Amino acid sequence: MTTSVNTNTNVNKANTMEQINVAAESQHVADSRTEELMATAIANEAEMVTIENTEEQKENTTLRIIKIKPAENPKMFCTLAKAIAAGATTLIVTTRVDVAGCGYVWFGIRKGHTELDGKLLLNAQIWNYLLAFLMGKELPEVTDFEPDRTICCQAEWLEEVTAEVEKLTCISSEEYNENEEGIGYLAKKYHFPNGKVVMPAEEIEDVTALLA
């Protein structure tokens, strides 16, 4: 009987120790995960501060903006590509849909204190080229300059663009402005190593409602 009791006691102790070890290991994993999330959040916040400071410095510096008169799409793309080849470092694109149902961007390509602004109609190749430059990746070849006119709903297309961009960067910011009539607009920007994508601003009746 004594042997049986001792055996059961040893088994219970072993089970208890195993449970303690499992619990400790689980806690260690949870703590490690928490530390990883905190480190990621801190890194993202630091990167966001760096981006905001850089943009603020650029905005505070006199910027020479040259608006390019709308031209045929191959010519506009060629201008953009030549600017990049000449050492342009920053690209700002704002997505839109025209009355013909074609997606396009207003682009600003910068080198130093000079920015070229123009309109570029989109298709899959051109869009991938823009994203590649924004992310600092190798630029793909573009052979098709015809715009994609399959867009039937601006809101749906912009939602698709937003979803795609959010998969490529976790860094974004929002900016609220009011026009002379006091109408407020909220714009969201997605930041990349070589620029940003600016989504169309949404009208906001009461900015404080965003606190809800």
* Tens of each residue's pLDDT in the chain, 212 residues: 544 445 455 545 555 556 555 555 656 555 566 566 555 544 554 454 455 545 555 455 689 999 999 999 999 999 999 999 999 999 999 999 888 778 899 999 999 999 999 999 999 999 999 999 999 999 999 999 998 876 667 788 889 999 999 999 999 999 999 998 889 999 999 999 999 999 988 999 888 988 87
Q: How far apart are CA 132 and CA 198, in angstroms?
A: 16
What is the pTM assigned to this prediction?
0.70
Phi, psi of 167 (to 5 degrees): -75, -20
Q: Which residues contact 197 (CB under 8 A, 6 or more apart)?
A: 93, 94, 95, 134, 161, 165, 189, 190
